[in-house]
Amino acid sequence: MNIVGHEKQRGVLTTFFKKGSIPHALLFSGQEKLGKRTVALWFLKMINCENKNAPCGKCRNCYEITEDIHPDIINVYPHEKEIQLKQIEELIGKMSMKGIRSSFKGAVIDRAHLMNTQAQNSVLKTLEEPSKNTIIILITEYPSMLLPTITSRTLQMKFLPVPEEEIMSFTKDRLSASFALGKPGKALDYLNFPETKEKEKSSREELDRLIKEGLSYRFTKAKSISKEDNMEEVLKCWLSCIRERMREKIKKKEKTDALREVLKEIERAVFLSSKTNINKQLALEKIMIKL
Ligand SMILES: [Zn+2]
């Protein structure tokens, strides 16, 4: 099975499996595209695999979990930037029924921070009284957006960027591995959609230019980017670039206060744009002032 990195987390999960002590609820946190969901599905395959070398990736259970068609594994995704109560109620209903093919039922809630308050409260009730032989895995970039009572009832596992060399051994392409900035999912995007790399390259160049130019150019650009559909992608690319610059500065023991401010502003805009319909131009202008 192709999983890049996260050996420590996989080791912990393997120990749970071998000891037969599967937790009721896990919370996978960390930046997007690190492979949190891949590891979650890998673990569910391990629990449900029909072969000794679990997860074999080949048996019916493994195959159906990969294809998201397994009757006992429920995947919840946000609809229009929100996970609603009815989605969680449906999940709870399915989890309380006897397994169709497996004795263990699993659920993965992706981008869990997008659960609205009612949905979160509903999840909380399930976590307080979990059904036997069930596991819920919450995945999020923003664990602080979850109710503290949810967080405290889950076993939290943090996911960190994967070393470039490990990504390189997977992609066999130095440029993709270096551009991916520790995110195997990004490296995979570059392989599957080469145009992504080109788009990112131009977003990086644009950021370089914006930093050099004055406010009037920056504001004109804010207006034009706000009208494009891919603003979130552009911002995420900038976020990676700024993080990269910060790391370089830290290595050289230089001050990072100004970059930190920019980072915060971009993070805020990315978060808001993932959640609500924000005033895009205003959010961009705030970033432009800090650049
Ligand atoms: Zn299998």
SS (H, E, C) 106-164: EEEECCHHHECHHHHHHHHHHHHCCCCCEEEEEEECCHHHCCHHHHHCCEEEECCCCCH
Ligand 1 centre from 19 Cα, in Å?
A: 19
C-alpha 231 chain-centroid distance: 18
Distance CA 73, CA 185 (A): 22
Nearest of 141, 175, 176 to residue 160 by alpha carbon = 141
- Helix runs in the chain, H state only: 7-19, 36-48, 60-66, 85-96, 117-128, 148-152, 164-171, 174-179, 184-192, 194-212, 215-226, 231-251, 257-275, 280-290
Please give the chain's pLDDT, 291 residues, in tens. Answer: 578 999 999 999 999 999 999 999 999 999 999 999 999 999 999 999 999 999 999 999 999 999 999 999 999 999 988 999 999 999 999 998 888 888 789 999 999 999 999 999 999 999 998 888 999 999 999 999 999 999 999 999 999 999 999 999 988 888 788 888 899 998 888 888 888 888 888 888 999 999 999 999 999 999 999 888 888 889 988 988 898 888 888 989 999 899 999 999 999 888 887 777 778 889 999 999 998
Sign of the C-alpha dihedral, residues 287, 179, 109, 12?
A: negative
Give pLDDT, residue 1.
58
Ligand 1 centre from 52 Cα, in Å?
A: 8
Residue 192 has a CB neighbour count (10 Å cut-off) of 8
Ligand 1 centre from 63 Cα, in Å?
A: 7
Give pLDDT, residue 102.
84
Nearest of 167, 242, 237 to residue 199 by alpha carbon = 237
Residues whose beta carbons lie less than 5 angstroms from ion ligand 1: 49, 51, 56, 59, 62
CATH H-level, domain 7-160: superfamily: P-loop containing nucleotide triphosphate hydrolases (3.40.50.300)
Query: Which residues, including other chains, have CB under 8 Å from residue 285's CB and lie 6 or more apart?
Result: 219, 222
* AA letter at 6: H
Q: Could you tell me if 141 and 32 are in contact, meaning their C-beta atoms sit under 8 angstroms apart? A: yes
Ligand 1 centre from 65 Cα, in Å?
A: 10
Ligand 1 centre from 215 Cα, in Å?
A: 57
Q: What is the pTM of this model?
A: 0.83
The domains of the chain are located at 7-160, 193-290
